[in-house]
């Protein structure tokens, strides 16, 4: 079953088409990376999936249906790139509870859900802290908690690891993978080719508001395609590009190690 189905979606800001005839399917429980240079339309596309933007033409279906506004925002959660855009209330508790109150939950239910998610993300000690006094990594987690607490089926992350330190990045990916193991569909927009290569099952490459390609992540080793898209190869692939047969270019670090061992043995 498809979690998201986008058919012939077009969207324009004042006659300037940002998305042009996009057709895309995202399988339930999959990990999809949306790649593309700046201005390719990544953020505009994800805002359509959450019902924030209405398409000029075409449609977006969530689990086969066109849900109403409340339903789509409950089922599809977006974690924005800059946590300061998302975390806007004074205390962590209030901010994480924001979406739940909008869903019409009672105070007792909200309290329980917020405490549970804070514990799950290991940030329960931040519950009563001023959101402004948090570190960037902590704010990112609070922003994620504010979305996860609404228990969406699809989680969209806009550059989730941007500006995080290595341990913060690992932490974020651990949480995202855990959500995926629990059956949630994860969609991530990123510029980070290495992250997409390591993390995703499938990738979509956007360019000038159009889907250039949607395929398994192996296509990230196609140098011509990446150049056409205004992207680059993942570092590991770049390293081995001149030494390996086209079909055997390693994509991930693990593949790189295996390839290197084979080359040394030979």
Partner 1 sequence: MWGILDIRIRILIVFGIIFLLPFFHNLETFLVILGLSFVLLFISGINIKSFFRSFTYIVPFLLIPLLLVPFYNSGYTRAFIIILKFVISYMLLYILIFNSSESEMLYGLRKLGFPKIFIDIMSIFFRYIDLLTDKSKRKLIAQKSRLFELRSILKRKNSYSLSAVITSLLMDSFNRTERIYIAMLSRGYKGELYYKDFKKLNGRDVTVLFMFVIFLVFLFILDRRGVIL
Binding site for partner 1 (CB under 8 A): 47, 50, 52, 70, 73-74, 77-78, 80, 82, 84-86, 88-91, 93-94, 97-99, 101-103, 107, 110-111, 130-132, 146-147, 150
CB of 130 to partner 1, least distance (A): 8
CB of 155 to partner 1, least distance (A): 12
Closer residue to partner 1 (CB): 114 or 236: 114
Closer residue to partner 1 (CB): 79 or 204: 79
CB of 60 to partner 1, least distance (A): 14
Closer residue to partner 1 (CB): 51 or 234: 51
Angle between helices 136-148 and 92-102 (to 10 degrees): 20
CB of 93 to partner 1, least distance (A): 7
CB of 188 to partner 1, least distance (A): 16
Q: Evaluate whether 59 touches 137 at the Cβ level (below 8 Å).
A: no
Closer residue to partner 1 (CB): 70 or 174: 70
CB atoms within 10 A of CB 4: 22
CB of 223 to partner 1, least distance (A): 35
Q: Following DSSP, what letter does each residue of 34-74 receive, concatenated? A: EE--TTSSHHHHHHHHTTSS--SEEEEEETTB---HHHHHH
Phi, psi of 50 (to 5 degrees): -100, 5
Q: How many residues does the chain have?
A: 266
Phi, psi of 169 (to 5 degrees): -65, -45
Closer residue to partner 1 (CB): 95 or 202: 95
* Cα–Cα dist 239/216, whole Å: 21
Closer residue to partner 1 (CB): 84 or 177: 84
- Spatial CA neighbour of 99 closest among 148, 154, 156, 66: 148
- Spatial CA neighbour of 54 closest among 7, 103, 3, 12: 12
Q: Which residues sit opposite 215 in a β-bridge?
A: 203
């Amino acid at each position: 079953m498809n979690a998201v189905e986008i058919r012939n979606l077009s969207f324009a800001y004042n006659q300037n088409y940002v998305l042009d005839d996009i057709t895309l399917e995202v399988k339930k429980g999959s990990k999809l990376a949306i790649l593309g240079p700046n201005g390719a339309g990544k953020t505009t596309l994800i805002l359509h999936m959450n019902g924030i933007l209405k398409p000029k033409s075409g449609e977006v279906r969530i689990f086969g249906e066109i849900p109403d506004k409340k339903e789509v925002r409950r089922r599809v959660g977006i974690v924005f790139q800059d946590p300061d855009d998302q975390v806007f209330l004074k205390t962590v508790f209030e901010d994480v509870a924001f979406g739940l109150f909008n869903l019409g939950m009672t105070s007792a239910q909200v309290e329980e859900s917020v405490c549970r998610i804070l514990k799950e993300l290991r940030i329960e000690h931040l519950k009563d802290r001023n959101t402004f006094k948090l570190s960037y990594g902590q704010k990112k987690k609070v922003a994620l908690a504010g979305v996860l607490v609404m228990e969406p089926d699809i989680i969209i992350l806009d550059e989730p690891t941007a500006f995080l330190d290595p341990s913060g990045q690992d932490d974020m990916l651990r949480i995202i993978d855990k959500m995926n193991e629990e059956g949630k569909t994860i969609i991530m927009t990123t510029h980070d080719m290495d992250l997409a290569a390591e993390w995703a099952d499938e990738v979509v490459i956007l360019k000038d508001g159009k889907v250039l390609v949607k395929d398994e992540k192996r296509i990230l080793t196609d140098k011509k395609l990446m150049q056409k898209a205004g992207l680059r190869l993942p570092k590991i692939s770049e390293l081995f590009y001149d030494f390996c047969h086209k079909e055997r270019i390693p994509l991930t670090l693990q593949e790189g190690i295996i390839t290197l061992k084979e080359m040394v043995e030979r």
